Structure 1
Amino acid sequence: MTDEARPVRRRRGRGARERILKAATELFTAQGVNATGMEQLTAASHVSRRTLYAHFAGKDDLVHAYLSELQDALMPAEPSKDADPRQQLLAIFDWDCHVAGGPLRGCPFLNAVVEVPAPDHPVHLLAASYKAEFARRLAALARQLGARDPEELGEQLALLYDGAVARNMVFDSTGPTVRARAIAVRLIDEATAPARD
């Protein structure tokens, strides 16, 4: 047996799309969209470049698919009779955005918009749609909780969340989301307190 480098073995068969998306999620989360090359993606997912392009038209298409896969997992829950809406509103500040062995990366939708700034780009449009739905869900939870102006509270909490996760990334600390959660408690208390005469 020689010490020569062996070629990377490509895995054949089904599951290529899932392996590509898994690798994209890991790499885009750890190092960002623009810093991740297609060669790196093919190596990490154990597929050929041809296979990657058979599943995704290009990097933009792959970024769009990566974000689409994350939407449901990162979206606040819909109101439910079985869950406490107050706890569901506060749960957004408990999200763990750590990357194993790396710095905090924040919200993948905000990160993608920074890297793909054109407002009419499909990735940017997907992120904007996600953020609008995020605030809408918070407003629905606020309505279930009995907030006087649920849309306003939903928007306030969405803004607070976005600012906190951005600051988490800047300072590589979850301190901002801890503080934001405390602010959210006060906002919720004010929005649901009985009106004064």
Structure 2
Amino acid sequence: MDATSTKTERRGRGGRERILVAAAALFAKQGINATGMEQVAEAAPVSKRTLYAHFPAKSDLVIAHLRDLAASGRTLESVLTREDLDPRERILRLFDLPSPDESPVRGCPFIDAAVEFPDPRSAIHTFAREQKLLMTQLVTELTAELGAAEPATLAEQLVTLADGAASRAMVLDQPDYGRHARAAAEILLDRAMTPTPQLPA
């Protein structure tokens, strides 16, 4: 790309979208705190003036990135609202991690963000917590639809398995690690759906 075309692209529309795409790639590759705003501007590519016009602070960019992820369908939680799957399959798809050619394996982006911004009062940590609570709410609704006697308790067990599997898959760089948690989730679901035998009076 020559200098003229670069300048044209910098002046072109879609700067905000390019910034978010660049930020997503950099955050996934090297982490949020290790990524500087100048790196994002260069990768977009946009001028620093354009970058700060859209995102006055780095925290604004991070929140926008997480919101974009939540709306994109690129997170584990997105499968929970798929109407083409029955409730049980939606839950079990939580344990399907990226295919082996998508390396290195990344964990849950909301957990990753909360780890990098550990203050529970920070806007980024707060947003991450809201997404994890939403995940639990969606799973609770699905387990209730399946007829579980204690849907909220079962949901907490299932999301704990899903988050744990995603984190271990990232640490071990094993994209198929979710199969272990899926097997445990199937046992939990089967037991929750099995009627408790009535004792004779």
Quick one: structure 1 residues 99 and 71, their matched pair in 2 at CA, closer, same or farther if it must change by over 3 Å? farther
Deviation of 1:174 after TM superposition, in Å, equals 2.6
Equivalent residue number for residue 25 of structure 2? 26
Equivalent residue number for residue 68 of structure 1? 67
CA deviations over 1:17-43 (Å, ceiling 9, x no partner): 000001111111121101111111011
Q: Over aligned residue pairs, what C-alpha RMSD do you find?
A: 2.1
Equivalent residue number for residue 57 of structure 1? 56
State how many pairs are aligned. 191
Q: Find the aligned partners of 2:3 and 2:24 in 1 and give their Cα distance.
A: 27
CA deviations over 1:142-191 (Å, ceiling 9, x no partner): 11111111111111111111111111111111343110011110011011
Q: Find the aligned partners of 1:28 and 1:99 in 2 and give their Cα distance.
A: 19
> Is the CA contact (8 Å cut-off) linking 1:142 and 1:153 kept in structure 2?
yes
Gaps of 5+ in 2: none
Gaps of 5+ in 1: none
Q: Find the aligned partners of 1:66 and 1:116 in 2 and give their Cα distance.
A: 15
Equivalent residue number for residue 189 of structure 2? 188
> Is the CA contact (8 Å cut-off) linking 2:97 and 2:176 kept in structure 1?
no
One-letter code of the match for 2:87?
P
CA deviations over 1:76-131 (Å, ceiling 9, x no partner): 42385x5311101101111327784x421111001111111111100000000000
Equivalent residue number for residue 121 of structure 2? 120
Q: Pick one of 77, 80, 96 that aligns with 2:80.
A: 77
TM-score by length of 2: 0.88
SS of the equivalent of 2:85 reads coil
> Is the CA contact (8 Å cut-off) linking 1:168 and 1:177 kept in structure 2?
yes
Equivalent residue number for residue 86 of structure 1? 88
Equivalent residue number for residue 46 of structure 1? 45
Equivalent residue number for residue 145 of structure 2? 144
Q: Find the aligned partners of 1:105 and 1:31 in 2 and give their Cα distance.
A: 11
One-letter code of the match for 1:62?
L
One-letter code of the match for 1:44?
A
> Is the CA contact (8 Å cut-off) linking 1:135 and 1:158 kept in structure 2?
yes
SS of the equivalent of 1:9 reads helix
